[in-house]
Amino acid sequence: MRIIIANKSHASYAEIICKNIEESAKVRGTGIARRTPEYIINKMEKGNAVIALDGEKFAGFCYIETWSHEKYVANSGLIVHPDYRKQGLAKDIKQVIFDHSRKKYPNAKIFGITTGLAVMKINYELGYQPVTFSELTDDESFWKGCQTCKNYDVLTRTDHKMCLCTGMMYDPEKKKEEKKKNNKVSKFNDKTFQRLKHIKQTLFYKKEKAEKE
Ligand SMILES: CC(C)(COP(=O)(O)OP(=O)(O)OC[C@H]1O[C@@H](n2cnc3c(N)ncnc32)[C@H](O)[C@@H]1OP(=O)(O)O)[C@@H](O)C(=O)NCCC(=O)NCCS
């Protein structure tokens, strides 16, 4: 398996990447920021994407987005082809794109929002911490990406303060301070995150149901 920074020579994989993202979103029953092959190719050409290839076969992908004049960076669109899941590939892809992001945008805060437990776990191990939505970028175009999610009404209803997703962030400044203090990071607790997700679902879906009645 090769996990590499993609370039324009990988443009032929853009279609399959988009198809994989769309099909996975359907299976998960979630909405997702829709991406066109042109958008993916643009990321590859700018050196802002990572691709995993098993020989010539597509195995996984992730790309970098920058917000608020490069003060914030998101590693988005993570996808692992179903044939290659549960083998640690997402973890490896995220490590490569994280290292690449740190090198290319050393002062940026790296963040993501997700409902996926696997992604939360990986992010946590990379040094991300859960944060409130108010700590994320206020760049309108980032939040526009949520419009295709089926939970978008929750986000608007809460005035962009919370949603089903959990926001997580790697703040290089905070990391420097933590290092100085030699703070130890505790282990990721699946149960806490699962419980948080469950509470949010109960809270928001109940309200949604009540409003429909
Ligand atoms: C989510 C996804 C990227 C995970 O890819 P993967 O290669 O199977 O993940 P890994 O094997 O690297 O697993 C990383 C960790 O998450 C855990 N994990 C993997 N899939 C999981 C799942 N569905 N639920 C809970 N935990 C999961 C693994 O056990 C592993 O934990 P460990 O280090 O304690 O063993 C993949 O399932 C996928 O492409 N899904 C569809 C798209 C998607 O959801 N993208 C994320 C959008 S935010």
Contact present, 94 and 75 (Cβ < 8 Å): yes
Kindly report the CATH number assigned to the domain that includes residue 64. Answer: 3.40.630.30
Structure tokens at 136: 């994320």
CA of 180 to the centre of ligand 1 (A): 32
- Out of 20, 50, 83, 91, give the residue to mutate to test ligand 1, the one with the largest number of ligand atoms within 8 Å of its CB: 91
Structure tokens at 46: 């700018």
Structure tokens at 51: 């691709």
Range of the domain at 101: 2-212
Atom of ligand 1 nearest to the CA of 80: 39
pLDDT in tens, 98-140: 999 999 999 999 999 998 889 999 999 999 999 999 999 888 8
Residue 12 has a pLDDT of 97
Mean pLDDT per 10-residue segment, the chain (213 residues): 97 96 79 80 97 98 94 93 96 97 96 91 94 91 84 90 92 86 73 80 67 53
> Which helix or strand (DSSP H or E) is residue 49 part of?
strand 49-54
Helices (H), the chain: 14-28, 37-45, 89-104, 117-126, 140-144, 152-157, 172-181, 190-212
Residue 86 has a pLDDT of 95
Residue 181 has a pLDDT of 78
Atom of ligand 1 nearest to the CA of 118: 16
Residue 152, phi then psi, degrees to nearest 5: -55, -35
CA of 108 to the centre of ligand 1 (A): 25
Contact present, 137 and 72 (Cβ < 8 Å): yes
| 50: β partners | 5, 62
The angle formed by the CA atoms of residues 46, 47 and 48, to the nearest 5 degrees, is 90
Atom of ligand 1 nearest to the CA of 115: 48
CA-based end-to-end distance of the chain:
52
Q: Residue 88 to residues 34, 100, 109, 111: CA-CA distances in angstroms?
A: 25, 19, 25, 21
How many other C-beta atoms are found inside a 10 Å radius of the C-beta of residue 203? 13
The pTM is what?
A: 0.88
CA of 105 to the centre of ligand 1 (A): 26
Q: Which residues line ligand 1 (CB under 6 A)?
A: 24, 28, 78-80, 85-91, 114, 116-119, 121-122
Cα separation, 101 vs 110, whole angstroms: 8
CA of 126 to the centre of ligand 1 (A): 14
Q: Which of 135, 208, 200, 206 is nearest to 167 (CA)?
A: 135
Q: Whose CA is nearest to atom 5 of ligand 1?
A: 90
Q: Whose CA is nearest to atom 9 of ligand 1?
A: 90
CA of 90 to the centre of ligand 1 (A): 6
CA of 59 to the centre of ligand 1 (A): 14
What's the structural domain count of the chain? 1
